[in-house]
Amino acid sequence: MKSRAAVAFGPGKPLEIVEIDVAAPQKGEVLVKITHTGVCHTDAFTLSGDDPEGVFPAVLGHEGGGVVVEVGEGVTSLSPGDRVIPLYTAECGVCKFCTSGKTNLCQAVRGTQGKGLMPDGTTRFSYNGKPVYHYMGTSTFSEYTVVAEISLAKINPHAPLDKVCLLGCGVTTGIGAVHNTAKVKPGDSVAVFGLGGIGLAVIQGAVQAKAGRIIAIDTNAEKFALAQEMGATDCVNPKDYDKPIQDVVVAMTDGGVDFSFECIGNVDVMRSALECCHKGWGESIIIGVAGAGQEIRTRPFQLVTGRVWRGSAFGGVKGRSQLPGMVEDAMAGRIHLDPFITHRLPLERINEAFELMHEGKSIRTVIHF
Ligand code: NAD
Ligand code: AHE
Ligand code: ZN
Ligand code: ZN
């Protein structure tokens, strides 16, 4: 079938809106009509060429919501008409990772997914007869996409897709990192570096966890109003100080925070986020994604003296079993999605969403088809 899609033809180039061909779903696959998708910084990261897994031409996008149109052979858990959120972290339920009870990082389709291919090693997308690659197993920047059955969360049939699409990445990542990775407890102090969609979701999670101090840190002071509305107790701009930001946070908190979250993808800030944690127990969660060749550094003494570095992918959330509950939370008002949606645009204007993000003017732009 034909589908309108925003195709990334090469690194650093604007997306092009073209009509691609989408082949029928094969065994274990599902054809989904995407109605809405957010634009996450990770899409911009891959488009920039910094992603070691970036392949072109590709249909990017991983923060979508849609409706099942057709199922391939052997698909039993989904039917046409079901509302779904595509998952870049699958949940097969049977692999070593899924059964470990220790991680959400199902590996059933991760190998082919990282190469821009469906699990059978081929693509369902083509343009002028040439293959177009998939992205993160989701490719939500296309009106029609093909996704593995194990990479789809079936959600409430009445869920507002124009909002809950944000649970496909940003909001789930931030809230999940607080509860599943850090396990923040009432009264804990928290520092959040970077106040985009991810950092603001961390703040929302920290409020849910009844954290004490929530210190919001960004070099763009225009982000502070929303951070405060979300529940930040303090806002700090590193540009206002002539000493390292970790020293500022340590001085504010009688020795450092219980938890910090890096939500930028800057390896220097990752060091600051670790070093602003309290001696003996402070934990720093890396959420930001850094480019090829980037490495983190600190003095080993920072770890010897009890600080801990952890990472978090998709907030540690198992998509098929846990995301439907988070959709219910959003529908019941326990998760607030509206504050994240600063802009709405049609697919044809998707490049403006990237510009707004780079200019620091948006939190999330929701694209409609
Ligand atoms: P965003 O661009 O909306 O927000 C980033 C924020 O960081 C902006 O407010 C910006 O002003 C701020 N910032 C930039 N440099 C800074 C600095 N030196 N000090 C303080 N603040 C600074 O991005 P986003 O969509 O919120 O994504 C944030 C990061 O999280 C990205 O790296 C993205 O790839 C990553 N991410 C990771 C996961 C995961 O599962 N681990 C999921 C989603 C996104
Ligand atoms: N492809 C990159 C890594 C990108 C990355 O870390 N992705 C995050 C999700 S970002 C969503 O906005 C993630 O979940 N990683 C775990 C995984 O399995 O990809 C690289 O460096 O190669
Ligand atoms: Zn994302
Ligand atoms: Zn699995």
pLDDT digits (tens, 9 = 90+) for 320-337: 999 999 999 999 999 999
pLDDT of residue 97: 98
pLDDT of residue 69: 98
Structure tokens at 161: 């897709």
Catalytically annotated residues: 40-42, 62-63, 92, 95, 98, 106, 110, 169, 364
Longest dimension (CA), the chain: 63
Which of 296, 312, 328 is the endpoint of a domain? Answer: 312
59-101: pLDDT as tens digits:
999 999 999 999 999 999 999 999 999 999 999 999 999 999 9
Residue from 41, 42, 138, 139 to probe ligand 2 pocket by mutation (most atoms less than 8 Å from CB):
42
For 74-100, b where at least 16 C-beta lie within 10 A, e where not — what string? ebeebeeebbbbbbbbbbbeebebbee
Atom nearest to 312 CA in ligand 1: 41
225-261: pLDDT as tens digits:
999 999 999 999 999 999 999 999 999 999 999 999 9
pLDDT of residue 268: 98
For 122-144, b where at least 16 C-beta lie within 10 A, e where not — what string? ebbbebeeeebbbbbbbbbbbbb
In a domain, 317, yes or no: no
In a domain, 205, yes or no: yes
25 and 56 in one domain?
A: yes
In a domain, 363, yes or no: yes
How many structural domains does the chain have? 2
Separation of 88 CA from ligand 4 center, angstroms? 12
d(CA 272, CA 81) in angstroms, rounded, equals: 47
Atom nearest to 105 CA in ligand 2: 18
- Among the bound ligands, name the one nearest to the CA of residue 198: 1
Separation of 127 CA from ligand 1 center, angstroms? 32
pLDDT of residue 101: 97
- Among the bound ligands, name the one nearest to the CA of residue 103: 4
The CATH number of the domain holding residue 228 is: 3.40.50.720
164 and 23 in one domain?
A: yes
d(CA 84, CA 320) in angstroms, rounded, equals: 10
Separation of 300 CA from ligand 2 center, angstroms? 26
134 and 34 in one domain?
A: yes
In a domain, 57, yes or no: yes
225 and 181 in one domain?
A: yes
In a domain, 325, yes or no: no
Nearest CA to ligand 2 atom 12: 42
295-310: pLDDT as tens digits:
999 999 999 999 999 9
CB 66 within 8 A of CB 33: yes
Separation of 314 CA from ligand 3 center, angstroms? 8
110 ligand 2 Cβ < 6 A:
yes
302 and 206 in one domain?
A: yes
pLDDT of residue 242: 98
| DSSP per-residue letters across 105-150 | ---TTHHHHTTT--TTS--SEEETTEEEB--TTT--SBSEEEEEGG
Nearest CA to ligand 2 atom 9: 313
ipTM entry: 0.99
216 and 153 in one domain?
A: no
pLDDT confidence tier of residue 357, bands split at 50, 70 and 90:
very high
Q: Please name the amino acid found at residue 287.
A: I
pLDDT confidence tier of residue 285, bands split at 50, 70 and 90:
very high
347 and 201 in one domain?
A: no
In the predicted model, what is the mean pLDDT of the chain? Answer: 98
The CATH number of the domain holding residue 140 is: 3.90.180.10
Give the CA-trace dihedral at 297, 205, 170, 192, to 10 degrees. -30
Give me the domain span that covers residue 117. Answer: 2-168+337-368
Separation of 158 CA from ligand 2 center, angstroms? 30
163 and 177 in one domain?
A: no
In a domain, 318, yes or no: no
Cα–Cα distances in Å, from 189 out to 25, 227, 233?
48, 16, 10
d(CA 63, CA 46) in angstroms, rounded, equals: 14
- Among the bound ligands, name the one nearest to the CA of residue 239: 1
Average confidence (pLDDT) over 263-275: 98
In a domain, 324, yes or no: no
Q: Please name the amino acid found at residue 25.
A: P
40 ligand 2 Cβ < 6 A:
yes
53 ligand 2 Cβ < 6 A:
yes
Q: Please name the amino acid found at residue 180.
A: N
- Among the bound ligands, name the one nearest to the CA of residue 314: 1
19-69: pLDDT as tens digits:
999 999 999 999 999 999 999 999 999 999 999 999 999 999 999 999 999
Separation of 167 CA from ligand 3 center, angstroms? 10
pLDDT of residue 61: 99
Give a three-class secondary structure readout of 283-320: EEEECCCCCCCCCCCCCHHHHHCCCEEEECCHHHCCHH
d(CA 367, CA 19) in angstroms, rounded, equals: 17
In a domain, 18, yes or no: yes
274 and 247 in one domain?
A: yes
55 ligand 2 Cβ < 6 A:
no
154 and 72 in one domain?
A: yes
CB 92 within 8 A of CB 85: no
Residues in the ligand 1 pocket, defined by CB under 6 Å? 40-42, 45, 169-170, 173, 193-199, 217-220, 223, 238, 263-266, 269, 287-289, 312-314, 357, 360
pLDDT of residue 100: 98
> Helix, strand or coil for residue 269?
helix
132 and 146 in one domain?
A: yes
Q: Please name the amino acid found at residue 151.
A: S
pLDDT of residue 196: 98
128: left (phi over 0), alpha (psi -120 to 50) or beta: left
d(CA 127, CA 321) in angstroms, rounded, equals: 35
213 and 286 in one domain?
A: yes
